[in-house]
Structure 1
Amino acid sequence: MFDAEQDEQPQHDHVFYDEYDQQQQQFDDEHGQQHQPDEPMFPGGPYDLSVLTDYEHHIAINVWNGQERRALKVVSNGKKQDKFIDIRYHLPAQIDHWINISGLRPLRRCSLHMIDGNMISAFAERCHAETSSFHLPFGEMTITLDDVRGLLSIPCTGEFFTPPANVNEDLATDAAVELLGVTYDEVVTEARTNRGASYSFEWLKEVFFKKLHERRYDCVARAYLLHLVGCTILADKSFTLVSAKYLFLFQDLDSCGKWAWGPAALVVLYDYLRDSTLPATKQIGGYLSLFQTWIYEHFPHICKRDMDEHISSMPRMFRWTAKQTSGNVAYYRAKLDALRDSDIIWAPDYDQNAVTRFIYYSELIATMLLPMPCKWR
């Protein structure tokens, strides 16, 4: 009986695969698809370019052809935040209240003091804008809203921000006069220095302390919160400036907690990751502390880092401390090439009280992100 069962099994397998082949052929015929070519259009690249439509412009082609790009320039604004105001400094109650209702208080203690540009560059080489994910040997991975919420403890649901159209120097000047309480001459000088509709971190610090002395607490809160998001979730590639359009996030301080900060962080980071895949790109913006601690959480063997005891009152990102490493981009590239699915922590031990599971569209860059709690939660 045992031998008979052994003989029957291959027959069942044969029937199954015949049916599968017939179904696959029918699908290909209906969709006008051809079988996979023997060789990819680009060496080392995908066989089918229907998904990765911009692959011909991707840095991966240069890497495959031996045309190395220097590590992307990266900056951590953690020290800028620490130097702005001592975390132990007690702000007036009204300012503290506005910081609390904004939902951004956790960002005061989140940022790393050091970013590994080589590691960031190696991951950027594997990012594809069409899927907003990293292509790894075992499949695709991406930074999700669960990661943002779990690491930063900032709101991931709420309203999406649409800045005023055409925020130019004139509008940036008017906004600063109205919302930051500065004089016209002061902000004109700042705008000319920056050559655009933006404010420098140093200038915002000056406004903060000047208005604190004058007890213009609404202006103090706006200067502080604008500096905070400019150093973190809305950081750009200038590393010293924040766009004037973001000042309108804090126009009404009593309702500034309505914004979906988590999705905003992902939109900005994904946008800069998209840019980093172009061979000519030399630096990357976005909240790189979020990016690097996401790597720490999911890739435990990829690099050196220290983990402190997690304090429940602090964001989870606060537990991580970056360490100086000697690996170059090629070193991390080899590490990623050798990864197996068993090397990954798929579900980090985030505080479940701080995590909401989300279903959302992947086209974040088009601001089509729709977060909602899963039905099974």
Structure 2
Amino acid sequence: MRVRRRRGVVDRTMQYHSRMIPYLCSNGFYGISRVAFFSLDWALITAFVERWRPETHTFHMHCGECTITLQDVQVQIGLPIEGMPVTGTTDAYYADVCERLLGRTPGGDDIVGCKLKVDWLERNVPAIDDESDEESVQRYIRSYILQLIGGCLFVDKSNRFVHLMFLPLLEDFQVAGQYSWGSACLAYLYRELCRGSRAGAHEVACASILVQLWA
């Protein structure tokens, strides 16, 4: 199966600065930000997808049934598993939301419905340094997290977009840290594994890094 993700692009294009660490710790994304990029074994992931059963959300192995749990999410990729559910709206005017939280307004076909092209973030949110003000640092971190979301945790099948319903949740980093990002990631993983296990499916878009680490 074709495994969709953009994590390698994120690591190549986004500078990781020490000023990001306190914010990433407070909003719950520090763990996943420190998981180094590595090549995925598509054959291994395909083998597990073939053994996934949507009726029970478990892998059916010769030794019995097993599955990825919330504890695995917390231990393997460091996402918080306790707190408020991750929910968002799809009726906001997202151009204004981007202007307010990212400092730039996407134009043209950069926004399609409720989704933003990930490469727009790479081109329009400037890197930070020791002299950057706090607002610029926070905007950069929001861009970085959106790329993690769109490229690793909640991957779009096109591999080009990230859903903007996540952006308002990152407005206040202290509040963002109170969401159960791990639960949302696992639910999305289960859904995509169910889709990938259907006859005729040729690709899977989910937190595939979690599947391989767990395997």
TM-score by length of 2: 0.87
Match of 1:126 in 2: 51
Counterpart among 70, 78, 84 of residue 7 in structure 2:
78
Judged with a 3 Å threshold, the aligned counterparts in structure 2 of structure 1 residues 259 and 76 are, in CA distance, closer, same or farther, namely same
Q: Distance in 2 between matches of 1:246 and 1:115?
A: 26
Q: Distance in 1 between matches of 2:15 and 2:142?
A: 18
SS of the residue corresponding to residue 74 of structure 1 reads: strand
Written as runs of structure 1 = structure 2, the 5 A alignment for 1:113-262 is 113-164=38-89, 167=90, 171-183=93-105, 187-189=106-108, 192-193=109-110, 195-209=112-126, 215=133, 216-217=135-136, 218-262=138-182
Per-residue deviation at 1:142?
A: 0.4
CA contact (8 A) 2:189 2:207 kept: yes
Confirm or deny that 1:100 pairs with 2:25.
Answer: yes
SS of the residue corresponding to residue 199 of structure 1 reads: strand
Per-residue deviation at 1:194?
A: 5.3
SS of the residue corresponding to residue 9 of structure 2 reads: helix
Confirm or deny that 1:286 pairs with 2:212.
Answer: no
CA contact (8 A) 2:14 2:122 kept: no
Written as runs of structure 1 = structure 2, the 5 A alignment for 1:18-37 is none
Per-residue deviation at 1:256?
A: 0.9
Task: Render the CA deviation track for 1:284-313: whole Å, top value 9, x for unaligned.
Answer: 011111101111xxxxxxxxxxxxxxxxxx
Q: Distance in 1 between matches of 2:36 and 2:117?
A: 19
Q: Which has the higher strand share?
A: 2
SS of the residue corresponding to residue 100 of structure 2 reads: helix
Question: Following TM superposition, where does structure 1 have runs of at least 4 consecutive aligned residues deviating by more than 6 angstroms?
Answer: 210-214
Q: Distance in 1 between matches of 2:124 and 2:22?
A: 19
Per-residue deviation at 1:237?
A: 1.9
Per-residue deviation at 1:137?
A: 1.9
SS of the residue corresponding to residue 110 of structure 1 reads: coil
Match of 1:273 in 2: 193
SS of the residue corresponding to residue 147 of structure 1 reads: helix
Question: RMSD of the alignment, in Å?
Answer: 2.3
Specify the structure having the higher radius of gyration (Cα): 1
Per-residue deviation at 1:188?
A: 2.6
Q: Distance in 2 between matches of 1:264 and 1:206?
A: 28
How high is the sequence identity, in percent, across the aligned residues? 26
Q: Distance in 2 between matches of 1:98 and 1:229?
A: 16
Judged with a 3 Å threshold, the aligned counterparts in structure 2 of structure 1 residues 193 and 120 are, in CA distance, closer, same or farther, namely same
Per-residue deviation at 1:111?
A: 4.8
AA paired with 1:180? L
Judged with a 3 Å threshold, the aligned counterparts in structure 2 of structure 1 residues 210 and 122 are, in CA distance, closer, same or farther, namely closer
Match of 1:90 in 2: 18
Q: Distance in 2 between matches of 1:211 and 1:188?
A: 23
AA paired with 1:206? R
With a CA cutoff of 8 Å and minimum separation of 6, indicate the structure with the bigger relative contact order.
2
Task: Render the CA deviation track for 1:221-278: whole Å, top value 9, x for unaligned.
Answer: 2212212222222223222221111112202223110011211111111110010011
> How many residues are paired up?
212
Match of 1:31 in 2: none
Stretches of structure 2 that go unaligned for 5 or more consecutive residues are none
Q: Distance in 1 between matches of 2:202 and 2:111?
A: 21
Q: Distance in 2 between matches of 1:136 and 1:84?
A: 39
Stretches of structure 1 that go unaligned for 5 or more consecutive residues are 1-71, 296-377
Per-residue deviation at 1:214?
A: 7.5
